[in-house]
Amino acid sequence: GNSVTQMEGPVTLSEEAFLTINCTYTATGYPSLFWYVQYPGEGLQLLLKATKADDKGSNKGFEATYRKETTSFHLEKGSVQVSDSAVYFCALSDLSGGGADGLTFGKGTHLIIQP
């Protein structure tokens, strides 16, 4: 079956530090990959996505590249801000079954940015 593994944290960084949150996956087909962010007390927001190998998703200074050879989709940001403090979820969607399917999520990484 499909699975997503990501570092769980909490990850604590100082403002303006470089961020990497690792994410690896296993899938039976050719999945699309996503990063969602959940701010405290709120729902899930799509941060970025990539639908095929070597695609790079980017948004709000965050980037992630779909690496098929290493089955990874690591999230990076060059300079984090306090407002980036949230829980980040890596997820995949595998449509090889042909129909609508749910997302398979990692367990989430709690990111804390200190001023």
Options 17, 46, 53, 112; binder of other proteins; rule CB under 8 A: 46
Options 47, 49, 66, 92; binder of other proteins; rule CB under 8 A: 49
Peptide bond connecting 10 to the previous residue in cis, omega within 30 degrees of 0: yes
Question: In which residue are the tokens 């296993």 written?
Answer: 26
Question: In which residue are the tokens 């079956």 written?
Answer: 1
Radius of gyration of the chain (CA): 14
Options 35, 75, 93, 113; binder of other proteins; rule CB under 8 A: 93
- CB of residue 107 to other proteins, shortest distance in Å: 6
- CB of residue 98 to other proteins, shortest distance in Å: 10
102 in helix, strand or coil? coil
Asked whether position 55 contacts other proteins by CB under 8 A, the answer is no
Asked whether position 73 contacts other proteins by CB under 8 A, the answer is no
- Tell the burial category of 5 from Cβ atoms under 10 Å away from its Cβ (0-12, 13-18, 19+): middle
Q: Which residues bind other proteins (CB under 8 A)?
A: 32, 34, 36, 38, 42-46, 49, 87, 89, 93, 95, 99-105, 107-108, 110
